[in-house]
Amino acid sequence: MNRIVRYMSSRSEQPYLRNHLLKNNPHVCCICNKFFPTYMLECSHILPRSQLCKSRYRDVNNVMLLCRNCHKIFDKGDAGVRNNVLLFSKDIKTYEDLNVQNREFEYITKDNLKYFKYHFNNIYNN
Protein backbone atom coordinates (compact mmCIF):
# COMPACT_ATOMS: atom_id res chain seq x y z
CA MET A 1 0.00 0.00 0.00
CA ASN A 2 2.78 2.47 0.84
CA ARG A 3 4.33 1.86 -2.56
CA ILE A 4 1.12 2.86 -4.31
CA VAL A 5 0.78 5.99 -2.20
CA ARG A 6 4.34 7.03 -3.02
CA TYR A 7 3.78 6.38 -6.72
CA MET A 8 0.62 8.43 -6.79
CA SER A 9 2.13 11.29 -4.83
CA SER A 10 5.29 11.37 -6.94
CA ARG A 11 3.27 11.42 -10.18
CA SER A 12 0.45 13.69 -9.16
CA GLU A 13 0.10 14.98 -12.73
CA GLN A 14 -0.93 11.57 -14.12
CA PRO A 15 -4.69 11.87 -13.42
CA TYR A 16 -4.70 15.33 -14.98
CA LEU A 17 -2.89 14.13 -18.14
CA ARG A 18 -4.97 10.98 -18.49
CA ASN A 19 -8.26 12.84 -18.00
CA HIS A 20 -7.22 15.39 -20.59
CA LEU A 21 -6.45 12.65 -23.12
CA LEU A 22 -9.66 10.73 -22.47
CA LYS A 23 -11.78 13.89 -22.69
CA ASN A 24 -10.18 15.21 -25.89
CA ASN A 25 -9.34 12.11 -27.93
CA PRO A 26 -11.06 8.99 -29.23
CA HIS A 27 -10.47 5.97 -27.01
CA VAL A 28 -8.05 4.39 -29.43
CA CYS A 29 -4.40 3.36 -29.17
CA CYS A 30 -2.35 5.82 -31.23
CA ILE A 31 -0.06 3.04 -32.52
CA CYS A 32 -2.24 0.01 -33.27
CA ASN A 33 -5.38 2.09 -33.92
CA LYS A 34 -7.55 -0.34 -31.96
CA PHE A 35 -10.42 0.91 -29.81
CA PHE A 36 -10.24 -0.08 -26.14
CA PRO A 37 -12.26 0.48 -22.99
CA THR A 38 -10.73 3.40 -21.13
CA TYR A 39 -9.29 1.20 -18.39
CA MET A 40 -7.12 -0.54 -21.02
CA LEU A 41 -5.55 2.68 -22.34
CA GLU A 42 -2.49 4.19 -20.71
CA CYS A 43 -1.22 7.75 -20.66
CA SER A 44 2.17 7.45 -22.34
CA HIS A 45 4.88 10.10 -22.39
CA ILE A 46 6.56 10.77 -25.73
CA LEU A 47 9.66 12.29 -24.15
CA PRO A 48 10.27 10.13 -21.06
CA ARG A 49 9.13 11.73 -17.83
CA SER A 50 12.57 11.11 -16.34
CA GLN A 51 13.99 13.58 -18.86
CA LEU A 52 11.49 16.36 -18.17
CA CYS A 53 11.97 19.30 -15.89
CA LYS A 54 9.20 19.62 -13.30
CA SER A 55 7.63 22.56 -15.12
CA ARG A 56 6.86 20.23 -18.08
CA TYR A 57 5.30 17.37 -16.09
CA ARG A 58 1.78 18.62 -16.92
CA ASP A 59 2.45 19.29 -20.62
CA VAL A 60 -0.51 17.67 -22.39
CA ASN A 61 1.45 17.81 -25.67
CA ASN A 62 3.92 15.22 -24.40
CA VAL A 63 1.42 12.40 -23.87
CA MET A 64 -0.73 10.08 -25.96
CA LEU A 65 -3.07 7.16 -25.35
CA LEU A 66 -1.55 3.73 -25.91
CA CYS A 67 -2.58 0.20 -25.09
CA ARG A 68 -0.22 -1.61 -22.74
CA ASN A 69 1.57 -3.55 -25.50
CA CYS A 70 2.12 -0.52 -27.72
CA HIS A 71 3.22 1.53 -24.70
CA LYS A 72 6.03 -0.97 -24.08
CA ILE A 73 6.94 -1.05 -27.79
CA PHE A 74 7.12 2.76 -27.96
CA ASP A 75 9.05 3.15 -24.69
CA LYS A 76 11.62 0.54 -25.74
CA GLY A 77 12.16 2.35 -29.06
CA ASP A 78 10.66 -0.27 -31.36
CA ALA A 79 8.17 2.27 -32.74
CA GLY A 80 8.89 5.85 -33.74
CA VAL A 81 7.52 8.68 -35.85
CA ARG A 82 9.40 10.58 -38.55
CA ASN A 83 7.86 12.97 -41.07
CA ASN A 84 4.35 12.00 -39.91
CA VAL A 85 5.02 8.31 -40.64
CA LEU A 86 4.84 5.62 -37.96
CA LEU A 87 7.89 3.36 -38.27
CA PHE A 88 8.80 0.08 -36.58
CA SER A 89 12.20 -1.39 -35.82
CA LYS A 90 13.37 -4.60 -37.49
CA ASP A 91 12.88 -6.44 -34.18
CA ILE A 92 9.16 -5.71 -33.98
CA LYS A 93 8.21 -6.35 -37.62
CA THR A 94 7.67 -10.05 -36.85
CA TYR A 95 5.14 -9.32 -34.09
CA GLU A 96 1.94 -10.85 -35.45
CA ASP A 97 -0.60 -8.91 -33.38
CA LEU A 98 0.52 -5.54 -34.69
CA ASN A 99 -0.01 -4.22 -38.19
CA VAL A 100 3.59 -3.12 -38.70
CA GLN A 101 3.39 -1.38 -42.01
CA ASN A 102 4.72 2.13 -42.24
CA ARG A 103 1.68 4.38 -42.22
CA GLU A 104 0.70 7.96 -41.70
CA PHE A 105 0.63 8.88 -38.03
CA GLU A 106 -2.34 11.16 -37.54
CA TYR A 107 -1.51 12.34 -34.01
CA ILE A 108 1.28 14.80 -34.87
CA THR A 109 0.59 18.44 -34.09
CA LYS A 110 2.77 21.51 -34.14
CA ASP A 111 2.76 21.35 -30.32
CA ASN A 112 3.98 17.76 -29.94
CA LEU A 113 6.29 17.56 -32.96
CA LYS A 114 9.40 18.44 -30.92
CA TYR A 115 8.73 15.52 -28.57
CA PHE A 116 8.31 13.04 -31.43
CA LYS A 117 11.51 14.35 -33.05
CA TYR A 118 13.41 13.81 -29.81
CA HIS A 119 11.99 10.30 -29.43
CA PHE A 120 12.90 9.37 -32.99
CA ASN A 121 16.44 10.74 -32.78
CA ASN A 122 17.28 9.48 -29.28
CA ILE A 123 15.10 6.46 -28.43
CA TYR A 124 13.89 4.81 -31.66
CA ASN A 125 15.89 1.73 -32.75
CA ASN A 126 16.36 1.86 -36.53
pLDDT digits (tens, 9 = 90+) for 4-50: 434 444 678 999 999 999 999 999 999 989 999 999 999 999 999 98
pLDDT average, residue stretch 58-70: 95
DSSP string, 35-104: B--GGGEEEEESS-GGGS-GGGTT-GGGEEEEEHHHHHHHHTTSEEEETTEEEE-TTTTT-TTS--S-EE
For the chain, what are the domain ranges?
Answer: 2-122
Does the pLDDT value for residue 93 go beyond 90?
no
pLDDT of 7: 44
pTM for this model (two decimals): 0.85
